[in-house]
Amino acid sequence: MTDYWTNKLVFDLQGPHGKDQWTNHRAEVIARYPVPPKIEQALLNDDIGVLIPVINPYLMRFFLLMLGYDDAKSIEVLESFQTDEERKRVNG
């Protein structure tokens, strides 16, 4: 099960002012949610590797789009965290 509050934060950013809130008021947004300090730091620093295990993948896709990543960039960023087993599975 993914982390409730971290996902709640990302879920709520889907609203009409989400991108503006995240771009211009990130620390205040994060402060509204009781996320662990490690996650707070990862959110402040766009540390995707820390966030992958705790954010639902469909919300992660939205989160990356909101950060301004197109599909190619999202794939590149996520692929950099592939395990050997995942790489083998994808490449056959």
Partner 1 sequence: MAKLVGSFAASHAPNIARSWDTLQDDTRDWLTTRYDELGKRVKALEPDVLVIHSNDHWINFFLENMPAFLIGVGEEHDGPPEPFMQPIFNGCTFPGHAGLGSHLLEFAMDADFDPAYSHRIKIDHGIGIPLWRMGFETLPPVVPVFLNLMEEPFPTPKRCLAWGHMIRDAIEAYPEDLRVVVLGTGGLSHSIGETTMGWIDEPFDKACMDLFANAPDAKIASELSRMLKETGNGGAEVRSWSIAHGAAGGKGFEMIDYIPMPETLIGCGLAEWKFAA
Which chain residues interact with partner 1 by CB under 8 A?
A: 1-2, 4, 7-8, 11, 14, 52, 55-62, 64, 71, 74-75, 78-79, 81-83, 86, 89-90
Closer to partner 1 by Cβ: residue 14 or 24? 14
Two structure tokens written together for 45: 């620093």
Burial degree of 9 (CB within 10 A; 0-12, 13-18, 19+): buried
Among positive and negative, which fits the CA dihedral 41, 24, 49, 10? positive
Q: How far is the CB of 92 from partner 1 (least distance, A)?
A: 8
CB of 49 to partner 1, least distance (A): 10
